[in-house]
Amino acid sequence: MVQAIEATGIFKSFGSTKALEDISFSVNESEIFGFIGPDGSGKTTLFRTITTLLLPDKGRMKVLGMDVIKDYKELRKNIGYMPGRFSLYQDLSVEENLNFYATVFGTTVEENYDLISDIYSHIEPFKKRLTGKLSGGMKQKLALSCALIHKPRLLVLDEPTTGVDAVSRSEFWDMLGKLRQYNITIIVSTPYMDEAIRCDRVGLIQNGKILSIDTPQKIKEGFSRKLFTVKASEKYKLILSLRKNPGILTAYPFGDSIHVTLADESADRTLLNYLKNDGIDDAVIQEAEAGIEDRFLELMEIE
Amino acid sequence: MEKVQEKVIIAHDLVKKFGTFVANDNLNFEVYAGEIFGFLGANGAGKTTTIRILSGLSKPTSGEVKVAGFDAYHQTEQIKKNIGYMCQKFSLYEDLTVKENIVLYGGIYGMSRTLISERLRELLEKLHFEEYENRMISDLPLGLRQKLAFSVAILHNPKIVFLDEPTGGVDPITRRQFWESIYETASRGITVFVTTHYMDEAEYCDRISIMSDGKIVALDTPAELKKQYNSKSIDEVFIKIARPATQGSPPLGGLGGRN
C-alpha cells in the first residue's frame, strides 16, 4: 500500500515543553485519518510539522513520498491546510478569498470547480459578502473550499469542527466523505471523541504521545474490562457512594449514567445491594459496550 | 427528584426583537434551584440573545422574565449580583496570579475583604491549590485553570451559574472531574445553566431545551427526548430537530459563536 505519510520517531520541544515525544505513524493514501486528543496534546504541532511549517527536532517524516525538510517547496504545492484558527482575509469577500487562494497556487477557480462545487454551492449565494460577516458554519465551508481549490493530494484539517454546531458538524463530515472519490488523503484533528467513527483510522493523542492507532472499532474492542453503566436519580449521591466502594476499579460520569468497572466482574448484583444499603434504592446496573472515550480513559490510566 | 422546586429562572412569552428581526420568539421555560439545565441550539438560533437577557445585559422586548427573583426589565443590577459566568476560552486573567484573580473577582462581586480571604483559603484547600497561590494563571495546566475558573465563577455563591462549553477541549479525565464539581455545585442548590455545541455534554444535564430559529422546539429530560425522537443520543435528536438557522446572519453581527 502506498503511504501518504510516514513518520518515525518525531520529537519537538518548545523550551522545556515537550510538544511531541517519539511520534511514529503512517497514513495510507486516500484514507481519512483522525487525530483525537484534548487541547495541548500536540495535534497542532504535529500538523504544522506535516505541513512543513515547523521543523522536527528529531525524527524523519515523509509526506506524499517527499521529505518534509528537504522537499518542502514541492510538498507545499500538494498540501491543502486548514488551520485551527480561522485565517482567511476577513475584509475580502467570499469570492475574493477563493480567487486569491487559487491564484497563489497558480490555478483558477474554474479549473477545479468540480472538486469544491458540493461545498461551495452552500455559500455561493453570499459570494459578495465580506468573509468577516459570515456565520461560523459558512466560514468553515469557505475555508475548506480555499484549502481544496488547488486540488491538493493531502488535505490537513486542524480542528475544523470546533465551535461549530452539531448540525453543521455532521454536514461537514458528510462533505469529507464525498471527497474520497477524488483520492485525496485527509488528516483531521478533533477534540470530539464522537467524531472518531467518521474516520477510517484514528490516533489517540495525549501529552505529545500517541496512545493508540487503529480503526475506531478496534480501538473500542481494545477496552480490556467488563463495562457497566449505573444509573440513579440522584447522580451526585451515586458517585460519592461508588467512590467509597473498594470493589469499584473506576467510576466515571458519562452523561446520564456512571461507567463503572469492577474488581470482581461478576459482582454487579452485590453492587446493587451495596447501593441499596447506602440509601440509593433506584439504581439500575447494566452491562454496556465500551466506546472510544472509555478506551481513551483506560489508556490514560495506564500511562 | 428531592430538590426543592424553587424557580430561579422564569421566562413567560419572552420576545426579543432587533428591528424586525425576531431573535427570541415567545420563549417559555422555567429553571429550578439546583437544576443542571442545558440550553442548546444551532449557531444563530438565538441562544446568546436569551443568555444576555438572563444575565441582565439586555432587556426583553416583551414577556415576563425573572432571574433569581428579580425582574429582567428593572432589576438588572440585582440579577448581575446573583449570577456567575464562565466560558471555556476566557475567564481568568493569565498575567495575574491565582490569588490576584480571586481577590480581583471577589472585589468585583462586592465581597468584603474578610470574606474574600476566607473563600481564598477554602478554595485553595479544596482544590489542593496551596502551592499555586502565587503562580501566574498562564503557568497552570489547562485542567487546573478550568477548575479554578469554575470556582471563581461561584465565588460569591450565586443563585445561577452560566457555563459556556464548560468541558470542550479538555482531556477525558479532567472532563469527568469537572462534571463531578458541577454535580456537587448543583447539589448545594446552585442552578447550573449550560450552553454547548458538545452534544455529549448535554447528556449530563437534568433537562435540556433545544432552540431553532428563535423558538424553543423541545424541552425535557435527555432520556425523555431520546425516547420521543426515537434516537440513541442527543446528537441524533439535535440533528433531527434543530434545523440550522436561516443562512442570513442576524442584524447584530457575530451574535455568539466563535471565530
CATH number, position B196: 3.40.50.300
Count the residues in chain A: 303
Joined grid coordinates for residue A206: 495525549
Q: Are residues B232 and B195 in the same domain?
A: yes
If asked whether residues B231 and B195 sit together in one domain, one would say yes
What does the pLDDT read at residue B255?
39
Chain B residues with CB-CB distance to A281 below 8 A: none
Q: Which of B111, B141, B157 is the last residue of a domain?
A: B157
Give domain limits for chain A: 3-215, 227-302
Question: What is residue A131's predicted lDDT score, i.e. its pLDDT?
Answer: 95
Instruction: State residue A167's pLDDT score.
Output: 86
Region B192-199: mean pLDDT is 91
CA gap A182, A91 in Å, rounded: 32
Whether B126 and B8 share a structural domain: no
pLDDT band at B4 (very low <50, low <70, confident <90, very high): low
User: The C-alpha cell of B110 is what?
Assistant: 462586592
- If one compares B174 and A283, the residue with the highest pLDDT of the two is A283
Chain B residue with Cα closest to A233: B1
- Greater confidence, B186 or B164? B186
- Whether the per-residue pLDDT at B14 is higher than 70: the answer is yes
Both B172 and B187 in one domain: the answer is yes
**In which element (H, E) is residue B77 found?**
helix B76-81
SS3 string, chain A, reads: CCEEEEEEEEEEEECCEEEEEEEEEEEECCCEEEEECCCCCCHHHHHHHHCCCCCCCEEEEEECCEECCCCHHHHHCCEEEECCCCCCCCCCEHHHHHHHHHHHCCCCCCCCHHHHHHHHCCCHHHCCCEHHHCCHHHHHHHHHHHHHCCCCCEEEEECCCCCCCHHHHHHHHHHHHHHHHHCCEEEEEECCHHHHHHCCEEEEEECCEEEEEECHHHHHHCCCCCEEEEECCCHHHHHHHHHHCCCEEEEEEECCEEEEEECCCCCHHHHHHHHHHCCCCCCEEEEECCCHHHHHHHHHHHC
Query: What HEC string does B128-141 produce?
Result: CCHHHCCCEHHHCC
Provide the 3-class DSSP secondary structure of residue B242: coil
Q: Is A134 at the interface with chain B, CB within 8 A?
A: yes
Contact A206 B244 (CB under 8 A): no
Smallest Cα distance from A110 to chain B, Å: 25
Counted domains in chain B: 2
Q: A162 and B168 in contact by Cβ < 8 A?
A: yes
- Give the whole-number percent of chain B exceeding pLDDT 90: 68
Q: What is the mean pLDDT of chain B?
A: 88
For B17-29, the pLDDT digits (tens) are 999 999 999 999 9
Does residue B244 carry a pLDDT above 80? no
Same domain, yes or no, for B5 and B29? yes
In chain B, what residues touch A236 (CB-CB under 8 Å)?
180, 183-184, 186-187
Residues B76 and B163 grouped into a single domain: yes
How close is the nearest chain B Cα to the Cα of A80, in Å?
20
Q: Does the CB of A282 have a partner CB in chain B at under 8 Å?
A: no
Percent of chain A at pLDDT above 90?
85
pLDDT on residue A286:
95
A255 vs B204: CB contact, 8 Å cut-off?
A: yes
Q: Is residue B225 over pLDDT 60?
A: yes
Whether the pLDDT of residue B253 is over 90: the answer is no
User: Per residue in A96-111, is it b (16+ CB within 10 Å) or e — as a string?
Assistant: bbbbebbeebeeebee
- Judge whether B193 lies within some domain: yes
pLDDT attached to residue A1: 63
- Closest-CA distance, B79 to chain A, in angstroms, reads 28
Give the ipTM of the model, two decimals please.
Answer: 0.85
* Architecture of the domain delimited by A3-215: 3-Layer(aba) Sandwich (3.40)
Across B52-74, average pLDDT: 96
Q: Is pLDDT of A261 > 90? A: yes
The pTM for the full model equals 0.88
User: Which of chain A's residues have a Cβ under 8 Å away from the Cβ of B179?
Assistant: 253
Do both B58 and B103 map to the same domain? no
Do B197 and A169 count as a contact with CB atoms less than 8 A apart? yes
Q: B259 pLDDT band (50/70/90 cuts)?
A: very low
Residues B165 and B241 in one domain: yes
Which residues of A, range 178-207, sit inside 8 Å of B by Cβ?
191-194, 206
Structure-block grid coordinates of residue A68 = 518534509
Lookup result for grid cell 527536532 = A57
Topology match between the domains A3-215 and A227-302: no
Answer yes or no: do B47 and B165 share one domain.
yes
**Which of the listed residues B157, B175, B193 is the one where a domain comes to its end?**
B157
Query: Chain B residues within 8 A (CB-CB) of chain A?
Result: 1-2, 41-44, 141-142, 168-174, 176, 179-180, 183-184, 186-187, 197-200, 203-204, 222-223, 235, 238-239, 242-245, 247, 249, 253, 257-259
Chain A from 65 to 84: CB within 8 A of any B CB: none
The whole-angstrom distance between B256's CA and the closest CA on chain A is 9
Q: Do residue B53 and residue B173 come from a single domain?
A: yes
Q: Judge if B77 and B171 occupy the same domain.
A: yes
Q: How far is B235 from chain A (nearest CA, A)?
A: 7
Kindly state whether A90 is in contact with chain B, defined as any CB-CB distance less than 8 angstroms: no
Average pLDDT, chain A: 94
Confidence bin at A193 (pLDDT 50/70/90):
confident
pLDDT tier for residue B248 given thresholds of 50, 70 and 90? very low
CATH architecture of the domain with residue range A227-302: 2-Layer Sandwich (3.30)
Place of cell 461551495: A120
Establish if B1 belongs to a structural domain.
yes
Compute the Cα dihedral for A33, A291, B196, B214 and give only its sign. Answer: positive
- In DSSP terms, B158 is beta-bridged to none
Residue B254 has pLDDT above 70, yes or no: no
**Residues B137 and B166 both lie in one domain:** no
Q: Which residues of A touch B168 (CB under 8 A)?
A: 162, 191
- Is B36 a residue whose pLDDT tops 70? yes
Q: Using the predicted structure, report yes or no on whether residue A200 has a pLDDT greater than 80.
A: yes
The pLDDT tens digits for A15-61 are 999 999 999 999 999 999 999 999 889 999 999 999 999 999 999 99
Q: Which domain holds residue B121?
A: 92-157
Quick check: B244 and A133 CB within 8 A?
Answer: no
Quick one: pLDDT at residue B164?
A: 87
Contact A135, B44 (CB under 8 A): yes
What are A257's three cell numbers? 449514567
Contact criterion met (CB below 8 Å) for A272 and A283:
yes
pLDDT classification of B243: cutoffs 50, 70, 90: low
Identity of the residue in A125, A167, A300 whose CB atom sits nearest the CB atom of B172: A300
Please give the share of chain A, as a percent, with pLDDT higher than 70: 100
